[in-house]
A and B are shown apart, each in its own frame.
Chain A
Amino acid sequence: SYFLTQPHSVSVAPGKTAMITCGGNNIGSKSVHWYQQTPGQAPVLVIYHDSERPSGIPERFSGSNSGHTAILTISRVEAGDEADYYCHLWDTTTDHYVFGPGTKVTVL
């Protein structure tokens, strides 16, 4: 099975930049997606295919993926960005989907 790692939590001050990492063996060769989930709500797609942003998602959200780490970057963080963030990919070895354990972003 393919495993993904994420930091349990990230804290950031308003207006600053939050970087959430997603680690996996040679993850740079895979297509990574990111979801935002606020309490009591369904997850929402914020980045797909490493760095593409769905319509309606602010430009403050960006993504990158290389080597063994994918990164979700949130610029000019706002209070409304406080949420859990999950990375996600398709494991071609097993033909199964995999989620990272999630990162809780706290806005100070």
Chain B
Amino acid sequence: QVQLVQSEAEVKEPGSSVRVSCKTSGDTFSSYSITWVRQGPGQGLEWMGGIVPIFDTTNYAQRFQDRVTITADSSTGTVSLEVRRLTSEDTAVYYCARAPRYGGGWFDPWGQGTLVTVSS
């Protein structure tokens, strides 16, 4: 069974950066894309962007274009999300999920989520 295992919770100060990782299994890294979705406290789901690891191509939501970087490490089967210039508005649970390689389609499965708290 395919699993996505995410890194542990983080507490960061405003203005700093955070990196969240997502360890894949099976053929996920070679046959699918990995996408990132975040959920603020009491809020809905917000798509941030994704990567096709085998091609190392990325696609970002407009509002995160200049502040987010998604990378893939083929040696470990791990995808990472970096968010820079953090503010309190970035306090959220960040999820990775498997998605089709060529865009479109559904997200399944999801990682367990990583809580990022931005606070001074």
Please report A residues at the B interface, Cβ cutoff 8 Å.
Answer: 1, 31, 33, 35, 37, 42-45, 48-49, 54, 84, 86, 88, 90, 92, 94-102
Contacts and interface: CB of A to CB of B under 8 A. Distances in A.
Interface stretch (B8-16, B66-74, B78-86, B105-113): B105-113
B32 interface: no
B46 A99 contact: yes
B59 interface: yes
B26 interface: no
29 contacts: A31-B104, A33-B106, A35-B107, A37-B45, A42-B95, A42-B112, A42-B113, A43-B45, A43-B95, A45-B107, A45-B108, A48-B108, A86-B44, A86-B45, A88-B45, A88-B107, A90-B104, A90-B105, A92-B104, A96-B61, A97-B35, A97-B99, A98-B47, A99-B37, A99-B45, A99-B46, A99-B47, A101-B44, A102-B44
Interface residues of B, number: 23
Nearest to B100: A90
Nearest to A44: B110
A91 B64 CA distance: 17
A95 B99 CA distance: 14
Interface of B: 35, 37, 44-47, 50, 59, 61-62, 95, 99, 103-113
Contacts of A84: 44
B47 A42 contact: no
Contact of B47 (A54, A97, A102): A97
A49 B62 CA distance: 25
Interface centre among B99, B106, B113 (most CB of A within 10 A): B106
Contacts of B45: 35, 37, 43, 86, 88, 99, 102
B59 A96 contact: yes
A61 to B, nearest CB: 14
A90 B106 CA distance: 9
A49 B106 contact: yes
B55 to A, nearest CB: 15
